[in-house]
Structure 1
Amino acid sequence: MSETGVKHYVLDTNILLHEPLAFLNFQEHNVIIPMVVLEELDNIKDRNKDVSRDARVAIRALEDALHEATPEQITAGVPLTRVSGEHQAQGHLSIFPDFQLRQNESEMLLNENDHRIIQTALELQKQRSGPVVLVTKDINMRLKAKGAGVKRVEDYRTDQLIDDIKFLAKGFYQFPGDFWSQVTDVKSEQDGRDTYHYIPRDLFPGAYPNEYLIDETDSFAARIESYTDTLVKIQDLSRERLMSQRAWGISAKNIYQAMGLNALLDPTIDLVILTGPAGCGKTLLALATALEQVVEKGMYEKIIVTRSTPEIGESIGFLPGTEEEKMAPWLAAITDSLEVLHKSDEHAESSLDYTMRKANIQFKSINFMRGRSIQNAIVILDEAQNLTASQLKTIITRCGAGTKIICSGNLAQIDSYYLTALTSGLTYLVERFKNYHGSATVNLNGVVRSSLAQYAEENL
């Protein structure tokens, strides 16, 4: 296990909880699992928590990779090529007996599991000729490891699709100046009330379905319908028509909200992703368009509202009442938005209660979504920036026929210890679904809550 150019990756427990098959994603390099990681997985697997499933999957995957190996082989390294399935792993997998370090190292240092993993990396730095890399999603763990002398410490980046958050798809592209002054060749056609243009692909090097197009004038707005290697078909939306849209009594305050309304009200789009700063209108737009389509148009039967609850991470059992009552404190943003939508009613409280019954609004915990099949509903997933890619997959794969899902989040307000703007499931979702014809992303660029909120967003 000392081949030239081969790296040795030491995995923290949170890597295997984040992705149970992560040890197969290091190509020709070697993977080392400290014994303490197995102990932590063993402690987690029997808990009545959502993360216990990932622990059990990781344990079974490690067993499949090592079950025919002798103790000596497991310590020295077992070839990962023997593991069946679709993967590119050509290195070795080994278990490092870190408990043996207690004979020579400080008992105080080794009492804490994080320190045992760090000590494993330090010991391997002495033993191995190739680079030793400690991989962890815990930011504080990375700081401690560097402070202790680990030369290379990294986040798990296999599922990271972009290198800088500024490259994240915004869902729209703004042309400088006047769009039509840049077009020399165009073919147009009429389909009922809609007008479509066929524009040379050269103008759209990074085009993807349902991407909105605007320019610096006050008239042009369009959306990409489809494209070939030479042509892009765009739907002419007209900025005036976009800005005149209404849903449940509200209208857009800027062009970004107008694009969001257009995507939210389009029945052909099953997934709408709304990103943007606090106060840009993500939750209000999602709720207003959901009420419009459930109550007024009867397109869906109910509204299911859920969100990440980091403070109660895995369980909501300690709060009193029904599931809806337990979730109420965490969904105050939804109830606040409902109050805004009905504040002008003569009997606002009665209107609010009637709307919630009529729209069949259900507050659900994200931890109990696995195994469900949601039909003919609008699902509003708030605060999606705090979820991992696997958690988002769990929710989206619950959506059955006739269901639309709205994911909203602010990548500047991540509460998870293990996620950053680059590794958030929301970022992963935007990038993975931007080429899917049934989805649309809109970055609501601009704070409309108040001038105070806008100033705070820009200056704090």
Structure 2
Amino acid sequence: MAEKNLNNETAPSAPANEQSIIYILDTNILLHEPFAFLSFKEHDVVVPMTVLEELDSIKDRRKDVSRDARVAIRALEDTLSNATPEQVLAGVKLPENDDLHPSGCLSIINDYALEQTAQILSFNENDNRIINAALYIQKKNPNKKIVLVTKDINMRLKAKGAGLAHVEDYRTDQLIDDVKFLTKGYHRFEGDFWQQVTACESETEGRNTTHLIDRDTLPLTYINEYLIDEGEHFAAKVTGFDDEKISILDLSHERLMGKNAWGIQPKNIYQGMAMDALLDPNIDLVILTGPAGCGKTLLALASALEQVVERGLYDKIIVTRSTPEIAESIGFLPGTEEEKMAPWLAAITDSLEVLHQQDENMHGSLNYIMDKANIQFKSVNFMRGRSIQNALVLLDECQNLTASQLKTIITRCGEGTKLICSGNLAQIDSNYLTAVTSGLTYIVERFKDFPGSATINLNGVVRSRLASFAEENL
């Protein structure tokens, strides 16, 4: 087994054009992605003993994060199981990704054994011990680049202030560098669309007209992307493309604005595009992004009721959302799972009240609809392990979920199930997520080429003029 002495300053240095890197991982990296230590290609990875201690203290908690801690511990054990104590300290070769890209080594440093007199920061805090371990490795390996990887912003600041040259966030699951580059789900043409088309072939079948236009009209496009122009007459959706042609389904501005679901009609073209995707039975995943008050939850719920109660396309509606507080305090609330979820699902019940505010007996109508549509409130914590069949799932506030958490939920959706994910990237409550590292951003980019998905950025606040002014000026 190949070994490298990570803590020995006599270790061979890398070629001048290829600097060797040692990555020290913080606990939150392994909680964010339990197999993260396998993501650093040919470079070496060090896990401080303090990280193992923190994982051990987390693994038995009654929280969703405890599962990630257990997975990380098992993954580390599988990698180091056949190594001797000396090899674990020196570095154990990680599994090869392929023949062309060799892997580095994984080692554990006993930061508790380091002399406290030589430490830069106080030895009493776990973050400080991890930073001190990184500083120790940096001192012992002057020819290597030492990088502390953590999602804790304050810890990155402390490490920099203590003298660590390189501190980074974990960005392996980050697909874009700036949220302004995030796919909006539509392309808006300046002026009149047809004035920009040089050649077009059209085919009509029933009410639907499909146009074939040159690929040069829109070089960068993807399936189910909506097309609109400034004239507010043209609207279409991309249904296919090759190197030369793009196939678009002509929807028209009027048809989109005439959509109706449970008595709700679009207030702007963005809501019209969203409602078209929500009501399309051929689309299995609809992702709605946008500011507070743009109508994400109301449109999703109205479309869900329309398809379950009126059209009978699905058997039930499952409503869930995730905020950092749910995993921590749901067990301390009295009542059933649905009663515990009620405080966090008030946005859903508020939308139900809006949809039935004109009824003579709103309370009776709500109870009837809850039963008729078989609406179930579920915690994200209990979605793992399920197989959801023939249901319409509303996942609200998913900007607070990581990519791996969203993968867990999406893979629960079985045959005949439609998933609606909504969220506002400007309202992330997680301590370790940003707009570019949110799971919502991740799935928008990952699913933009999937024929069974559509993304719509609901541009514009329609809740009230007060909310609109606050969104633009605060």
TM-score relative to the length of structure 1: 0.97
Report the equivalent of 2:269: 255
Deviations 1:123-181 (A, max 9, x none): 11111121111101112221222222222111101110011111110000001111111
Matched, 1:113 2:126: yes
Report the equivalent of 1:144: 158
Give the letter aligned to residue 3 of structure 1: A
Give the stretch that moved more between structures: 72-81 or 409-418.
Answer: 72-81
Give the letter aligned to residue 66 of structure 1: L
Q: Which of 179, 182, 204 is the aligned partner of 1:165?
A: 179
Report the equivalent of 1:73: 87
Measure how far apart 1:320 and its partner are.
0.7
Describe the SS at the equivalent of 2:288.
strand
Describe the SS at the equivalent of 1:355.
helix
Matched, 1:32 2:43: no
Q: Distance in 2 between matches of 1:114 and 1:275?
A: 35
Report the equivalent of 1:421: 435
8 Å CA contact retained: 2:47, 2:109: yes
Report the equivalent of 2:304: 290
Matched, 1:94 2:107: yes
8 Å CA contact retained: 1:17, 1:51: yes
Give the stretch that moved more between structures: 198-207 or 447-456.
Answer: 198-207
Give the letter aligned to residue 126 of structure 1: K
Measure how far apart 1:68 and its partner are.
2.2
Deviations 1:282-339 (A, max 9, x none): 0000000000001111111111000003113255210011111000000000000011
Q: Which of 3, 25, 34 is the aligned partner of 2:14?
A: 3
Give the letter aligned to residue 215 of structure 2: R
Q: Distance in 1 between matches of 2:311 and 2:98?
A: 47
Measure how far apart 1:64 and its partner are.
2.0
Give the stretch that moved more between structures: 341-350 or 160-169.
Answer: 341-350
Segments of structure 2 that go 5 or more residues without pairing to the other structure are 1-5, 7-12
Matched, 1:214 2:214: no
Q: Distance in 1 between matches of 2:98 and 2:364?
A: 57
Report the equivalent of 2:280: 266
Matched, 1:437 2:451: yes
Report the equivalent of 2:215: 201
Q: Distance in 1 between matches of 2:97 and 2:384?
A: 27
Q: Which of 335, 342, 355 is the aligned partner of 2:356?
A: 342
Q: Which of 112, 123, 126 is the aligned partner of 2:136?
A: 123
Describe the SS at the equivalent of 2:468.
helix
Cα gap change, 1:122/1:381 in structure 2, threshold over 3 Å: closer, same or farther?
same
Give the stretch that moved more between structures: 36-45 or 253-262.
Answer: 36-45
Deviations 1:395-440 (A, max 9, x none): 1111111110100000000000000000000000101111100000
Report the equivalent of 2:374: 360
Q: Which of 212, 218, 243 is the aligned partner of 1:229?
A: 243
8 Å CA contact retained: 2:97, 2:103: no
Give the letter aligned to residue 257 of structure 1: Q
Q: Which of 383, 386, 398 is the aligned partner of 2:400?
A: 386
Matched, 1:451 2:465: yes
Give the stretch that moved more between structures: 268-277 or 202-211.
Answer: 202-211
Deviations 1:251-292 (A, max 9, x none): 000000000000000000000000000000000000000000
Describe the SS at the equivalent of 2:123.
helix
8 Å CA contact retained: 1:25, 1:87: no
Matched, 1:15 2:26: no
Deviations 1:204-258 (A, max 9, x none): 2221110000011110000000111111110000001100111111100000000
Give the letter aligned to residue 294 of structure 2: C
Give the letter aligned to residue 33 of structure 2: E
Describe the SS at the equivalent of 2:342.
helix
Q: Distance in 2 between matches of 1:434 and 1:261?
A: 18
Segments of structure 1 that go 5 or more residues without pairing to the other structure are none
8 Å CA contact retained: 1:102, 1:110: no
1:321-332 counterparts in 2 under 5 A?
321-332=335-346
Give the letter aligned to residue 121 of structure 1: A
Cα gap change, 1:168/1:266 in structure 2, threshold over 3 Å: closer, same or farther?
same
Question: Alignment identity in percent?
Answer: 71
Give the stretch that moved more between structures: 37-46 or 317-326.
Answer: 37-46
**Ranges of 4+ aligned residues in structure 1 off by more than 4 Å:** 83-89, 105-108
Q: Distance in 2 between matches of 1:233 and 1:214?
A: 15
Q: Distance in 2 between matches of 1:55 and 1:91?
A: 23
Give the stretch that moved more between structures: 258-267 or 145-154.
Answer: 145-154
Measure how far apart 1:353 and its partner are.
1.3
Q: Distance in 2 between matches of 1:448 and 1:35?
A: 52
Q: Distance in 1 between matches of 2:415 and 2:119?
A: 59
Q: Distance in 2 between matches of 1:37 and 1:17?
A: 10
8 Å CA contact retained: 2:121, 2:162: no
Give the letter aligned to residue 352 of structure 2: L
Q: Distance in 2 between matches of 1:292 and 1:235?
A: 24
Report the equivalent of 1:370: 384
8 Å CA contact retained: 1:376, 1:403: yes
TM-score relative to the length of structure 2: 0.94
